[in-house]
């Protein structure tokens, strides 16, 4: 059970937030494209446009020479609106944890999945999709504690998964 959980849900890295990630190091490790979740990763849940935090984070990614793409389970028009406010490409309705859209973006960009990194706040969507697609994954702490009931339920499951994965 522990091996299955580790294989599917263990992120390559855990960070306090997007603003704490060393993007220069990721670039040096061969990462070319960052796929980013919106809700509680870059934005407070439900945001339609980027705030100063997201603008600064995207600026740091671009300054490191990385391509940035928003990959969200949000509706397409909302993901597009949010991405437009940052000047980056996006795909909504990604159906994470399915790796299909993630791999499609890799293909569109002519990138091998090993040169791509998914950054998100949820094990059961972002990290699982990344693991299934064979891309690097970074789990960040959620930006806000205000979440829908179904997300709070998933958070309890995620805490249990992390606890089991870390136990000896």
pLDDT digits (tens, 9 = 90+) for 27-70: 999 999 999 999 999 998 888 899 999 999 999 999 999 999 99
Q: Has residue 153 been placed in a domain?
A: no
Q: Has residue 156 been placed in a domain?
A: no
Q: Has residue 106 been placed in a domain?
A: yes
CATH number at residue 90: 3.40.50.1000
Phi, psi at residue 24, to the nearest 5°?
-60, -40
Burial environment of residue 168 by CB neighbours within 10 A (0 to 12, 13 to 18, 19 or more): exposed
pLDDT digits (tens, 9 = 90+) for 56-105: 999 999 999 999 999 999 999 999 999 999 999 999 999 999 999 999 99
Q: Has residue 154 been placed in a domain?
A: no
Domain range for 26: 12-146
Give me the percent of the chain exceeding a pLDDT of 90: 73
Predicted TM-score (pTM) of the model is 0.91
Q: Has residue 53 been placed in a domain?
A: yes
Q: Has residue 95 been placed in a domain?
A: yes
pLDDT digits (tens, 9 = 90+) for 119-151: 999 999 999 999 999 999 999 998 877 777 777
How far is CA 154 from each of CA 16, 33, 43, 70, 110, rounded to the nearest angstrom? 19, 27, 19, 22, 33
Q: Which of 124, 152, 149 is nearest to 139 (CA)?
A: 124
Q: Has residue 123 been placed in a domain?
A: yes
Number of domains in the chain: 1
Residue 6's pLDDT band, with cuts at 50, 70 and 90, is confident
């Amino acid at each position: 059970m522990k091996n299955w959980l580790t294989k599917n849900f263990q992120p390559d890295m855990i960070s306090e937030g997007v603003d704490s990630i060393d993007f220069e190091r990721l670039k040096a490790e061969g990462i070319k494209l960052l796929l980013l979740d919106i809700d509680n990763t870059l934005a407070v849940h439900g945001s339609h446009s980027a705030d100063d935090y997201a603008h600064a984070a995207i600026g740091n990614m671009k300054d490191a020479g990385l391509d940035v793409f928003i990959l969200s389970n949000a509706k397409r028009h909302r993901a597009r609106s949010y991405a437009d406010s940052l000047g980056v490409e996006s795909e909504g309705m990604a159906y994470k944890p399915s790796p299909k859209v993630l791999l499609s973006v890799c293909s569109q960009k002519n990138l091998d999945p090993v040169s791509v990194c998914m950054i998100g706040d949820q094990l059961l969507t972002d990290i699982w999709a990344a693991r299934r697609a064979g891309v690097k994954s970074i789990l960040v702490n959620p930006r806000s504690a205000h979440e829908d009931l179904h997300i709070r339920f998933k958070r309890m499951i995620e805490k249990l998964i992390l606890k089991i994965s870390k136990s000896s």
